[in-house]
Amino acid sequence: MARACYVCGLAVTTPTTPCPPFRRVSPDAVSPSLFTRRKYWAEQFGTAAVLPTSRAEMDALGWDSCDVVLVTGDAYVDHPSFGMALVGRLLEAQGFRVGIITQPNWQSAAAFAALGRPNVMFGVTAGNMDSMVNRYTSDRRIRSDDAYSPDGAGGLRPDRSVIVYAQRCREAFNDVPVVIGGIEASLRRIAHYDYWSDKVRRSVLLDAKADLLVFGNGERAVVELAHRLAAGEATDSISDVRGTAFARPTGTMPADWTEIDSSDVDDAAPPGNATVGLLSIRRGARPRTDRARTVVRMPDYDAVVADPLLYAHASRILHVESNPGNAHALVQRHGDRDVWINPPPIPLTTVEMDAVYELPYNRRPHPRYGNAKIPAYEMIKTSVTIMRGCFGGCTFCSITEHEGRIIQNRSEASVLREIVAVRDHTPGFTGVVSDLGGPTANMYRLACRSPDIEAACRLPSCVHPGICPNLNTDHSSLIQLYRKAREIPGVKKVLVASGVRYDLAATSPAYVKELAGHHVGGYLKIAPEHTEAGPLAHMLKPTIGAYEKFRALFDKYSAQAGKKQYLIPYFIAAHPGTTDADMVNLALWLKKNGFKADQVQAFLPSPMATATAMYHSGKNPLRKLRRGTKAGDVAVPKGLKVRRLHKAFLRYHDPDNWPLLREALRRLGRADLIGSRPDQLIPAERPGPGGRTTPARTFKTQHARRRAG
């Protein structure tokens, strides 16, 4: 009897091994080391103490010009946690003279010409955050502060910074190549739903009028582009760099390429796993072609604007074609231009990661800021990154989409050397390493047991609906790293502040014991996100039972260590797939467990996320999409009223929310939850002076925590 192949989802008779068409890794999946190229001639100028941000600083270095000018919406901090510093130091190590234009006045092109004409290119980024996420709340209210600005000042970057900055660079020097990158460009590389304007926008590559776009972890692409442009190669001839997107006139498909037409949903797609499957191909079974010369045609811009189902289909294609071991190039038509998206970059090796993170950063804000505090720097200045990537695949999160699901690790020795550097060179170091982690705390050195399976797999997550049996979950390397880190002389405490993937942690009681015994400062943030099966399935998060299992271990080992420590759980309101009834049950769980949250978060549809496709289209792109059926329909809490209600359930203890919650509970037929019994959610009203109604009792709002005992 045919079953679904556990790798590709197609029907096979023996699902114990991957199907043959997917055993091969793309022939261009092997990249040279970042540091094997011959250095650019300007290496003779040596290493700058700090990358220059003005002509005066360039003069002091003896530079008549910059080879590369990076433009960023963040304050310049020479620390590897800040993208412009990492890219700048990497290009400097390649021999280029790199200048930085930081938080420029975007009202004219003058600020973008401040360092003169760059010899090779402009590199443009919004900064460490998408500028719209940085500037607006999930309720579209403008934020008053900016953690990446001096003294947290707001208003120092424009909306859609990448577009504005790139256009100003073009105005300043119209003959200089403009390359955009960073998370804002990465997550907007195709036609995407924009929550803030409530419409589908074009690829940011076109709106920015840039020459090339770098997405994902950009080191390989940036280095290759810089060397090729410096050698005189024209931007319109560079079309083969992984991790880049470019535009060309429609109808100019290279003669030696094969196009797979997936511009519409396929009602006759081959059978397969309903939650995974393959991208739909209109002409039936998947053709066996040369992957390196095959491009998948996505629904075009006009089509995804007009048809939400096709928007969901395009999102499905993008996410299926995300594994660097088997991804095809993608193409999407925008009017008379085709936007090509090459396969994702090959992950960095451990040797390369070590070299990137041990470049000569001075680990401080630029001296131009004087005594001003940069909140984002203050938060991470004594933290150390040990890995990149996340194989969780949470549909609302941008980490997997940007950094990929293959974990890139630093060596133990490199991490320990950086801790020593933090100890010796970070002003105000008190002996506490604030975080040893990355996108997740405990995926260090975790990977698929089989390189062949890893290169072939098209699953969106390695841990949903359960932990894949092919995933190595051995935490011993991380435990050893923690122990060696805290033994470094002068280090009093090593904390873990990155989010712990609790379902993975629960597979290793030894890890939880190490964590609870030595690396928690009283409270540990953790993100179950919800308690109900419906929302969790649409998030690709584990069941609440996995959280309970981890909590039992955490409480056990905290008690053994003689410590009173608490988990601080985070939950999301108004996520696609969440009903009002789901929020009632979540609120009851919170009350039963003694949790009272002061600050809560509502789902924010970030560009390109799978959950954003659900929000916009009302369809679940994790499933095979069909016309004329309600299969895959998603309940989407939209509108300010329902979003406020869902947030109110998370803050069931706030008297200001009780009138709204009473009305909702009555509407839902759950008036039995209104009253003063312990099993009821909120108090009833009672007559007050003058006949007015007052709450039956008052709850004191406090920081989110679980009561001891």
Give tens-digit pLDDT for 315-364. Answer: 999 999 999 999 999 999 999 999 999 999 999 999 999 999 999 999 99
pLDDT band for position 672 (cuts 50, 70, 90)? very high
Is 469 found in the same domain as 409?
A: yes
DSSP-derived secondary structure letter, 393: -
pLDDT at 704: 34
Which residue type sits at 439? P
Q: Same domain for 322 and 392?
A: no
Distance CA 99, CA 92 (A): 10
Query: Does 439 reside within a domain?
Result: yes
How many other CB atoms are there within 10 angstroms of residue 272's CB atom?
Answer: 17
Q: Are 259 and 387 in a shared domain?
A: no
**Mean pLDDT confidence for 486-507:** 96
pLDDT tens readout for residues 535-589: 999 999 999 999 999 999 999 999 999 999 999 999 999 999 999 999 999 999 9
Residues 400 and 536 placed together within one structural domain of the fold: yes
What average pLDDT does the segment 274-293 reach? 48
pLDDT > 90: percent of the chain: 84
Dihedral angle, C-alpha 647, 648, 651, 657, nearest 10 °: 150
Supply the pLDDT for residue 290.
Answer: 85
pLDDT average, residue stretch 161-165: 98
Task: Identify the pLDDT of residue 272.
Answer: 35
302, 335, 368: which is the final residue of a domain? 335
Is the confidence at residue 6, as pLDDT, over 50?
no
- Which residue bears the tokens 């970057």? 157
pLDDT tens digit sequence for 285-329: 345 568 889 999 999 999 999 999 999 999 999 999 999 999 999
Coil, helix or strand at residue 447: coil
| Residues in a beta bridge with 249 | 337
| DSSP code at position 527 | E
Task: Give pLDDT, residue 22.
Answer: 28
Provide the pLDDT confidence category of residue 628 given band limits of 50, 70 and 90: confident
pLDDT beyond 90 at 406: yes
Is 626 within a domain?
Answer: no
Please state whether the peptide bond connecting residue 270 to the residue before it is cis, i.e. omega within 30 degrees of 0. Answer: no
Residue 151 reports pLDDT greater than 50: yes
Q: What is the dihedral of CA 630, 635, 640, 644, to 10 degrees?
A: 170
Q: What pLDDT, on a 0 to 100 scale, did the predictor assign at position 688?
A: 52
pLDDT of amino acid 198: 96
Same-domain check for residues 388 and 330: no
User: Of 261, 206, 286, 318, which Cα lies nearest the Cα of 21?
Assistant: 286
In a domain, 154, yes or no: no
Instruction: Decide: helix, strand or coil at residue 486.
Output: helix
Strand partners, 244: 214
505 pLDDT above the threshold of 50? yes
> Of the candidates 331, 329, 326, 335, which has an alpha carbon nearest to the alpha carbon of residue 298?
331
Res 608 pLDDT > 60: yes
Beta carbons of 242 and 342 less than 8 angstroms apart: yes
Strand (E) positions, 264-418?
294-297, 329-334, 337-341, 383-385, 387-388, 408-409
Indicate whether 276 pLDDT > 50: no
pLDDT of the residue at 23: 28
Does residue 369 sit in helix, strand or coil? helix
The 3-state secondary structure of 97-133, one letter per residue: CEEEEECCCCCCCHHHHCCCCCCCEEEEECCCCCHHH
In angstroms, the CA 147 to CA 128 distance is 10
**658: helix, strand or coil:** helix
Cβ atoms of residues 125 and 184 within 8 Å = yes
Alpha-carbon distance of 334 to 245, in angstroms, equals 14
388 and 457 housed in the same domain: yes
Determine, yes or no, domain membership for 280.
Answer: yes
**Which range, of 260-269, 399-408, 682-691, averages the lowest pLDDT?**
682-691
Place of tokens 């289909």: 313
**Within-domain flag for 6:** no
Tell whether 312 and 396 lie within a shared domain.
no
Among residues 335, 350, 366, the one where a domain terminates is 335
Is residue 179 very low, low, confident or very high in pLDDT (cuts 50, 70, 90)? very high
Does one domain contain both 316 and 393?
no
Residue 699 has pLDDT above 50, yes or no: no
pLDDT one-digit tens code per residue, 673-697: 999 999 999 999 865 555 445 444 4
**pLDDT higher than 90, residue 597:** no
Domain membership of residue 51 (yes or no) is no
Measured distance CA(215)–CA(242) in Å, rounded = 9
Report the range of poorest mean pLDDT among 139-153, 254-268, 436-450, 662-676. Answer: 254-268
Same domain assignment for residues 397 and 302 = no
Q: Which amino acid is at 57?
A: E
* pLDDT above 70: residue 71: yes
Statement to judge: residues 392 and 457 lie in one domain? yes
Q: Which amino acid is present at 379?
A: M
CATH of the domain at 455: 3.30.750.210
Lowest mean pLDDT among 1-15, 56-70, 358-372, 380-394: 1-15
Nearest alpha carbon to residue 127 among 162, 154, 93, 96: 162
Asked whether residue 117 carries a pLDDT value surpassing 50, the answer given is yes
Same domain, 324 and 409: no
Q: Is residue 8 situated within a structural domain?
A: no
Judge if pTM exceeds 0.85: yes
For residue 345, being part of any structural domain is answered with: no
| Contact call for residues 173 and 111 (beta carbons, < 8 A) | no
Instruction: Residue 411: give the domain boundaries.
Output: 382-523+530-560
Whether residue 29 is predicted with pLDDT greater than 70 in this model: the reply is no
List 448's β-bridge partners, or say none. 471
User: Does residue 670 carry a pLDDT above 60?
Assistant: yes
The distance of Cα 175 from the centroid of its chain, to the nearest Å, equals 33
Tell me, yes or no, whether 468 and 408 share the same domain. yes
- According to the model, what pLDDT value does residue 267 have? 59
pLDDT value of residue 689: 54
Ordered DSSP codes for 404-425: -SS-EE--HHHHHHHHHHHHHH
| Mean pLDDT, residues 394-412 taken together | 93
- Residue 179 pairs in a beta bridge with 123, 212
Please give the structure tokens belonging to residue 35. Answer: 């540091």
How far apart, in whole angstroms, are the C-alpha atoms of residue 683 and residue 178? 60
| Over residues 585-613, mean pLDDT | 93
Q: What is the pLDDT of residue 289?
A: 65
pLDDT on residue 697: 40
- The count of domains in the chain is 2
* Cβ neighbourhood burial of 309 (10 Å; 0-12, 13-18, 19+): buried
